[in-house]
Structure 1
């Protein structure tokens, strides 16, 4: 099921994608990093991650071309096995990896994977945001680390089928432009925490077969279905919207509209939802804050009423009832 096509059919198309300028700039920077057989990239890997190894003097760059995603993943796995144990440097440019997600393969394409002379494997992520004085935007680095952690997990699945299993390094190389230039610089990023979190999340995912078995008989997600039937089919799959979904799911805009229509507090964020306990709608939150409903002994209700009273007092006792009710609950 193509969720982007489905979102468009539902009338809530996703807004993913870079601007053409950003896309071209990113491609130009990546091409510079990988020029001359990846000489600069291998130099950065050696300098930042493996200074004890022999300096790279022209690493191997195997051809990873094959037919279809299955063919490319098989060719990538073969290239990794062949490069391991050669005692030299090997650069895999845009390899394709497969990761088992709830029983189905998800195909992933890291910017590069480097095989070290000792046979270990390193993920390389190339980004176009700058490193200023040796540091980059923390939020962007965090996103890159989470992305790279998924690649590390996929590499570990490949390594598990190699005898002896090579070491997949948990420190990845993040390559970015230096300051305001187009010159590459790099930083080592430890992704062990992100890898562990991602692995736990994958283990808790419900398998697609189980979701399919729970759907009503005859459920179909064909984009050419009448809007009412397609909407009913999508809503037969349980989903809980949160603002974080906007950066990860093509159906987020559709789910956001439904959450707002249902007056669900999840549309305001998971952290707020957790603070409100059994109050699941905005209407019930406002009523509790105004003292119209809710158990006074409930910590969430008590916090709402205290916040409303404090806001009313701060505004001189003349705040409108709704303004007081919309006060944010105390931590």
Structure 2
């Protein structure tokens, strides 16, 4: 089956979850995860609608018309260190980047960047191709545009079809565009001489309000660059992951369901709720995480707070297990006798801060429920028209109740 090429969106999602070996291997092998998810019985709808796709192409065609003069004008108007007066269209070079195959286009892009930088002139590279090494495998990426300034600086330009309304746009969409631009910037930094030329500020071009007129805004990439660079370095090499997969394993959607599920399960996944917005296999991995009872299905924040407690059963045991009452007694303000302290020492993982917090939360929850049970009116009687205010519960019990 022909492999699906990696794009910046997939790399940004992979960098956001570097511990997921399943996604790393499937993306590196070019497996169609959408078809795989459908064959596993857990499809996920991703991608643009046909209307949005056509609208995006029409908007991009409008923006890059006349040799990209509008893009250069927006670049000069919205980025620092750029002349306020845009150059004449004849002063902007738009090189031909056509070549055979991704490797040929990557080489042609590198030559065009070197020539424009050496000549010290304006240049606009439309749909160039760059490569980035991911976990020991080369990925070919295609930015919307790259602008070369006379001072030798390179700026990544992202053209998106979502609108900028009254000077602001959807933060989630802007963040996704920034992560993609950061991936392109990292690929440019790997080119000869590119480390000092790539600007840490990308240009985001979008429709203005509800029209088809373009507007732009600078996007600071320093945070995304640092995060993506760090996460990509943490990725395990694909050959190391493949060595752990049994020989003869296939990820063919045409396989029977049980055989395909067994093949996918040979590669461990690191599920998090954020995967639902970026991975086609998220529903399948979520079902597995829930079946296994892992706390990862509750989110990275919860998993981090619980420390070594990795399953829901372990969490409930720590909160309500044997010896919890003795441990709580030792933590209580009135626990001053040595007997209570000795009982707490044998109550389990008392020294674990997560276990101690769980036991305290369980005790507060029980107190809050008991208070509500004693103060609530009977279900079969109507409450009087004028009742006295309820007894104020302690702050800890009130917080636990909420």
Return the TM-score normalized by structure 2: 0.72
Q: Is structure 2 residue 354 aligned with structure 1 residue 300?
A: yes
What is the rounded CA distance, in whole Å, between the counterparts of 1:290 and 1:88 in structure 2? 71
1:122 Cα shift? 0.7
Q: Residue 310 of structure 1 is aligned with which of 337, 350, 364?
A: 364
Residues 79-158 of structure 1 aligned to structure 2 (within 5 Å): 79-158=112-191
SS of alignment partner, residue 93 of structure 2? coil
Q: Does 1:274 align with 2:304?
A: yes
Give the distance between the partners of 1:36 and 1:329, measured in 2 at CA.
Answer: 63
* Alignment partner, residue 5 of structure 1: 35
Relative to structure 1, is the Cα distance of residues 139 and 247 closer, same or farther in structure 2, using a 3 angstrom cutoff? Answer: same
1:52 is aligned to 83
How do 1:155-194 residues align onto structure 2 when only pairs under 5 Å count?
A: 155-160=188-193, 167-194=197-224
| 1:84–1:166 contact (8 Å) kept in structure 2 | no
| C-alpha distance in structure 2 between counterparts of 1:222 and 1:144, whole Å | 32
Question: What residue is the counterpart of 2:21 in the other structure?
Answer: none
* Deviation per residue, 1:125-144 (Å, 9 max, x gap): 11222323333233322222
Q: Distance in 2 between matches of 1:173 and 1:239?
A: 35
Question: Would the aligned equivalents of 1:80 and 1:115 in 2 still touch at CA under 8 Å?
Answer: yes
Aligned partner (choices 258, 268, 271) of residue 241 of structure 1: 271
Tell me the CA shift for residue 104 of structure 1. Answer: 0.7
For structure 1, which segment, 104-113 or 67-76, has the greater mean C-alpha deviation from structure 2 after superposition? 67-76
Report the secondary structure of 1:85's partner residue.
helix
Unaligned runs of 5+ residues in structure 1 are 320-327
Q: Whole-Å Cα distance in 2 between the matches of residues 329 and 221 of structure 1?
A: 47
Q: Secondary structure at the match of 1:238?
A: coil
User: Structure 2 unaligned runs (5+)?
Assistant: 1-28, 325-347, 375-398
- Alignment RMSD (CA, Å): 2.6
Aligned partner of 1:72 in structure 2 is 105
Q: Tell me how far 1:146 sits from its aligned partner.
A: 1.3
Count matched residues: 319
Q: Is the 8 A contact 2:319 2:362 kept in 1?
A: yes
**In the TM superposition, what are the counterparts of 1:205-216 in structure 2 within 5 Å?**
205-216=235-246
Q: Please say if residues 365 and 400 of structure 2, whose CA atoms lie closer than 8 Å, have aligned partners that are also in contact.
A: no
Structure-2 change in CA distance of 1:120 and 1:8 (3 Å)? same
Q: Separation in 1 of the partners of 2:199 and 2:178?
A: 13
TM-score, with length taken from structure 1: 0.86
The answer as to whether partners of 2:166 and 2:209 remain within 8 angstroms in 1 is yes
Report the alpha carbon displacement of residue 149 of structure 1 after superposing the two structures with TM: 0.6
Which region of structure 1 is more displaced relative to structure 2, 24-33 or 111-120?
24-33
Instruction: Give how far 1:301 is off.
Output: 2.4
Distance 1:179 1:128 in 2: 11
Given that residues 119 and 166 in structure 1 are in contact (C-alpha distance below 8 angstroms), is that contact kept between their aligned partners in structure 2?
no
Larger gyration radius, structure 1 or structure 2: 2
- The alpha-carbon deviation at position 120 of structure 1 amounts to 1.8
Q: 1:246-292 CA distances to partner (integer Å, 9 max, x unpaired)? A: 23323222211211111111111111111112222223323433345
Q: Which residue of 2 aligns with 1:29?
A: 59
Distance 1:329 1:9, change over 3 A: farther
**Do 2:206 and 2:216's aligned partners in 1 also have CA atoms closer than 8 Å?**
yes
Alpha-carbon offset, residue 101 of structure 1: 0.2
| Higher alpha-carbon deviation: 213-222 or 180-189 | 213-222
